[in-house]
Amino acid sequence: MLIEEDQARFLKCIGEPTRLQILKLLAKGERCVGELVSVLNKEQSLISHHLKALKECNIVKDEQKAQKVYYKLADVRLAKLIIDSEALMKELSLCQCQEVNYERKGNQGSGKGEICPAS
Protein backbone atom coordinates (compact mmCIF):
# COMPACT_ATOMS: atom_id res chain seq x y z
CA MET A 1 0.00 0.00 0.00
CA LEU A 2 1.26 3.46 -0.83
CA ILE A 3 2.00 5.92 1.98
CA GLU A 4 -0.47 8.32 0.35
CA GLU A 5 -3.23 5.76 0.73
CA ASP A 6 -2.43 5.36 4.42
CA GLN A 7 -2.35 9.14 4.82
CA ALA A 8 -5.71 9.46 3.09
CA ARG A 9 -7.25 6.84 5.39
CA PHE A 10 -5.80 8.62 8.44
CA LEU A 11 -7.05 12.04 7.34
CA LYS A 12 -10.47 10.63 6.50
CA CYS A 13 -10.69 9.08 9.96
CA ILE A 14 -9.86 12.31 11.78
CA GLY A 15 -11.72 14.49 9.28
CA GLU A 16 -15.13 14.14 10.94
CA PRO A 17 -16.13 17.12 13.14
CA THR A 18 -17.09 15.10 16.24
CA ARG A 19 -13.86 13.12 16.02
CA LEU A 20 -11.90 16.37 15.80
CA GLN A 21 -13.69 17.63 18.91
CA ILE A 22 -12.79 14.41 20.71
CA LEU A 23 -9.17 14.67 19.60
CA LYS A 24 -8.97 18.30 20.75
CA LEU A 25 -10.10 17.23 24.21
CA LEU A 26 -7.72 14.26 24.28
CA ALA A 27 -4.88 16.59 23.24
CA LYS A 28 -5.27 18.10 26.73
CA GLY A 29 -5.12 14.71 28.47
CA GLU A 30 -6.87 11.40 28.87
CA ARG A 31 -10.63 11.31 29.32
CA CYS A 32 -13.29 8.72 30.02
CA VAL A 33 -16.36 8.38 27.81
CA GLY A 34 -18.58 10.06 30.39
CA GLU A 35 -16.41 13.18 30.40
CA LEU A 36 -16.45 13.36 26.60
CA VAL A 37 -20.24 12.93 26.56
CA SER A 38 -20.65 15.70 29.13
CA VAL A 39 -18.29 18.20 27.48
CA LEU A 40 -19.46 17.57 23.92
CA ASN A 41 -23.14 17.26 24.88
CA LYS A 42 -23.63 14.29 22.54
CA GLU A 43 -25.10 10.84 23.00
CA GLN A 44 -22.87 8.24 24.63
CA SER A 45 -23.45 5.81 21.77
CA LEU A 46 -22.22 8.42 19.24
CA ILE A 47 -19.07 9.16 21.26
CA SER A 48 -18.39 5.44 21.65
CA HIS A 49 -18.85 4.92 17.91
CA HIS A 50 -16.29 7.63 17.10
CA LEU A 51 -13.84 6.38 19.73
CA LYS A 52 -14.07 2.90 18.23
CA ALA A 53 -13.20 4.29 14.77
CA LEU A 54 -10.28 6.30 16.18
CA LYS A 55 -9.05 3.25 18.06
CA GLU A 56 -9.27 1.04 14.95
CA CYS A 57 -7.06 3.57 13.14
CA ASN A 58 -4.58 3.46 16.05
CA ILE A 59 -5.14 7.17 16.75
CA VAL A 60 -6.34 6.65 20.32
CA LYS A 61 -5.62 4.03 22.95
CA ASP A 62 -7.79 2.96 25.84
CA GLU A 63 -6.99 1.82 29.34
CA GLN A 64 -9.31 0.28 31.92
CA LYS A 65 -9.03 1.94 35.34
CA ALA A 66 -11.39 0.55 37.95
CA GLN A 67 -14.90 0.81 36.47
CA LYS A 68 -14.02 3.32 33.71
CA VAL A 69 -12.22 3.17 30.39
CA TYR A 70 -9.95 6.13 29.69
CA TYR A 71 -8.89 7.22 26.22
CA LYS A 72 -5.73 9.04 25.22
CA LEU A 73 -3.91 9.90 22.03
CA ALA A 74 -1.70 7.09 20.76
CA ASP A 75 1.14 9.53 20.07
CA VAL A 76 1.79 13.00 21.51
CA ARG A 77 2.50 14.34 18.02
CA LEU A 78 -1.21 13.96 17.26
CA ALA A 79 -1.98 16.72 19.79
CA LYS A 80 0.33 19.09 17.92
CA LEU A 81 -1.26 18.11 14.60
CA ILE A 82 -4.76 18.88 15.88
CA ILE A 83 -3.76 22.19 17.48
CA ASP A 84 -1.67 23.28 14.50
CA SER A 85 -4.37 22.38 11.95
CA GLU A 86 -6.91 24.51 13.84
CA ALA A 87 -4.47 27.43 13.91
CA LEU A 88 -3.82 27.05 10.18
CA MET A 89 -7.56 27.13 9.45
CA LYS A 90 -7.97 30.34 11.41
CA GLU A 91 -4.81 32.12 10.26
CA LEU A 92 -4.55 31.13 6.60
CA SER A 93 -8.19 30.96 5.58
CA LEU A 94 -7.72 27.42 4.28
CA CYS A 95 -10.34 25.16 2.79
CA GLN A 96 -13.35 27.43 2.74
CA CYS A 97 -15.59 24.97 0.93
CA GLN A 98 -18.64 25.87 3.00
CA GLU A 99 -19.76 28.99 4.76
CA VAL A 100 -17.63 29.41 7.85
CA ASN A 101 -17.17 32.27 10.24
CA TYR A 102 -13.79 32.06 11.96
CA GLU A 103 -12.54 34.95 13.99
CA ARG A 104 -9.43 36.08 12.14
CA LYS A 105 -7.00 38.89 12.82
CA GLY A 106 -6.90 41.32 9.95
CA ASN A 107 -9.38 39.37 7.84
CA GLN A 108 -10.33 41.64 4.97
CA GLY A 109 -13.28 39.60 3.79
CA SER A 110 -16.66 39.08 5.30
CA GLY A 111 -15.30 36.28 7.48
CA LYS A 112 -17.41 33.76 5.60
CA GLY A 113 -16.05 31.07 3.36
CA GLU A 114 -17.02 30.67 -0.23
CA ILE A 115 -18.09 27.62 -2.15
CA CYS A 116 -15.09 25.90 -3.72
CA PRO A 117 -15.10 25.98 -7.51
CA ALA A 118 -15.91 22.70 -9.22
CA SER A 119 -12.85 20.63 -9.98
Predicted local distance difference test score (pLDDT) of residue 91: 82
**CA count, 13 A, side-chain hemisphere, 67:** 1
Q: Give bridge partners of residue 31 from the DSSP assignment.
A: 71
4-37 pLDDT, tens per residue? 998 899 999 999 999 999 999 999 999 999 999 9
Please give the C-alpha separations between residue 51 and each of 39, 46, 63, in angstroms, as whole numbers: 15, 9, 13
Alpha-carbon distances of 39 from 51, 54, 87, 115, rounded to whole Å: 15, 18, 21, 31
**CA separation for the pair 20, 32 (Å, rounded):** 16
Is the C-alpha dihedral spanning 49, 51, 52, 58 positive or negative?
positive
**Mind listing the pLDDT tens digit for each residue in 64-108?**
988 999 999 999 999 999 999 888 888 887 666 655 454 444 444
- DSSP label of 112: B
44-56 and 17-26 helices, crossing angle to 10°: 80
Question: Which is more confident, 1 or 32?
Answer: 32
